């Protein structure tokens, strides 16, 4: 059973695997290459993944057979285990609990080489709807406090499989980064009685210097204090705390801005590796006036070095104003 351990000074949680599978010596070889050849996520290989949790099957085909356009399965090598109790306990000065949680893989397309920039809009809509469905389903499990949805594109961004997929991790604690964001946004709200993201949105949509793309409901933004070159956020124009509360008709607009953003990124930077993460409300307070869900996209173009790790201070060689302009013109 993996363990959740808390750093007593910073309050940061870590999932420590206690499986003995990976020997320390295996780290001497460091480079992980994307597996060529056989792909367990491709149609026809459904028996190589754990059984599907949900799937979109326009042809009404049977579970765990080909015919799907999107498929969600448990991660074969989960960071957390779904069964058991948290069993929170001390170890002297330290706090820990069992590594309980869900770790799922959203297989986004049957097409092994599809990119978000090449996918049909309907396909992207389905991915976003699948995110919502899984959040709603998992939020019924009262052990969970937060659901993290993320996507790793390319080996440099930590992907171990090339086939297009996102991942979901349901956690029994709210992680540090979202907690910090909620605290910052709440402190602003307590002072101004306004959502800080709504204020940012108003300023950005007026100035327009950092806007990358836009439609009636959503827009993409190179944020003012971008940590990384070409960092982009996708935000809803109207206040909404939790991602899963997006009404159904808005997913078409969201898919459109996703498609636009990744087309621009892939054109401008020749299909860069990237990570994106959904930032949404914790499960026990989905209706806050101060949280405002959004996606953060980080192209992995520069290396993170000691200064950034030690300080949490970033050096960004590309002003977001320039990045936004370059992307708009791509």
| Catalytic annotation, residues | 165
Residues of span 94-133 touching its own copies by CB under 8 A: 94
The single residue among 119, 169, 221, 283 that binds its own copies, judged by CB under 8 A, is 169
Residue 162 sits in the site that holds its own copies (CB under 8 A): no
The single residue among 185, 221, 235, 242 that binds its own copies, judged by CB under 8 A, is 185
Structural tokens at position 313: 């201070």
Instruction: Give just the sign of the alpha carbon dihedral 9, 15, 20, 24.
Output: negative
The single residue among 220, 226, 241, 259 that binds its own copies, judged by CB under 8 A, is 226
Q: Site mask, its own copies, residues 281-310, x = CB under 8 A? A: ---------------x-xxxxxxxxxx-xx
Residue whose CB is less far from its own copies, 32 or 76:
32
Supply the minimum distance, in Å, between the C-beta of residue 45 and its own copies: 23
Structural tokens at position 218: 């959503």
Residue 269 sits in the site that holds its own copies (CB under 8 A): yes
Question: Could you tell me how many residues of this chain bind its own copies (CB under 8 A)?
Answer: 97
Q: Which long-range contacts (CB under 8 A, 24 or more apart) does 139-143 make?
A: 139/244, 139/283, 141/102, 141/170, 143/86, 143/100, 143/172
Cα 97 from Cα 30, distance rounded (Å): 30
DSSP single-letter state for residue 145: -
Residue 215 sits in the site that holds its own copies (CB under 8 A): no
The single residue among 39, 42, 54, 79 that binds its own copies, judged by CB under 8 A, is 79
Cα 52 from Cα 64, distance rounded (Å): 6
Q: Residue 323: name the closest of 290, 291, 301 by CA.
A: 301
Supply the minimum distance, in Å, between the C-beta of residue 268 and its own copies: 7
């Amino acid at each position: 059973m993996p363990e959740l351990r808390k750093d007593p000074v910073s309050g940061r949680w870590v999932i420590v695997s206690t499986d003995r599978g990976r020997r320390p010596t295996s780290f001497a070889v460091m480079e992980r290459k994307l597996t060529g050849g056989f792909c367990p996520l491709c149609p026809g290989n459904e028996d190589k993944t754990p059984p599907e949790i949900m799937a979109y099957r326009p042809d009404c085909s049977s579970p765990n057979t080909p015919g799907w356009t999107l498929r969600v399965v448990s991660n074969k090598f989960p960071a957390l285990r779904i069964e058991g109790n948290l069993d929170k306990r001390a170890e002297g000065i330290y706090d820990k609990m069992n590594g309980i949680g869900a770790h799922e893989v959203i297989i986004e397309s049957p097409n092994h080489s599809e990119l978000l920039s090449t996918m049909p809009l309907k396909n992207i809509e389905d991915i976003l709807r699948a995110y919502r469905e899984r959040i709603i389903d998992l939020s019924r499990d009262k052990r969970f406090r937060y659901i993290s949805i993320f996507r790793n594109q390319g080996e440099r961004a930590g992907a171990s499989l090339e086939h297009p997929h996102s991942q979901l991790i349901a956690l029994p604690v709210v992680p540090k980064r979202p907690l910090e964001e909620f605290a910052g946004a709440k402190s602003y709200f307590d002072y101004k009685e306004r959502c800080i993201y709504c204020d940012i949105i108003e300023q950005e949509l007026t100035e327009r210097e950092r806007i990358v793309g836009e439609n009636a409901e959503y827009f993409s933004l190179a944020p003012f204090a971008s940590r990384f070159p070409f960092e982009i956020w996708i935000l809803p124009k109207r206040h909404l705390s939790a991602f899963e509360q997006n009404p159904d008709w808005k997913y078409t607009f969201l898919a459109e801005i996703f498609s636009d953003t990744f087309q621009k990124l892939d054109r401008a930077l020749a299909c860069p590796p990237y990570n994106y993460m959904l930032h949404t409300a914790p499960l026990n307070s989905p209706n806050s006036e101060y949280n405002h869900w959004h996606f953060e996209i980080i192209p992995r173009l520069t290396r993170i070095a000691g200064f950034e790790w030690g300080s949490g201070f970033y050096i960004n060689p590309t002003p977001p104003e320039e990045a936004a302009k370059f992307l708009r013109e791509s």
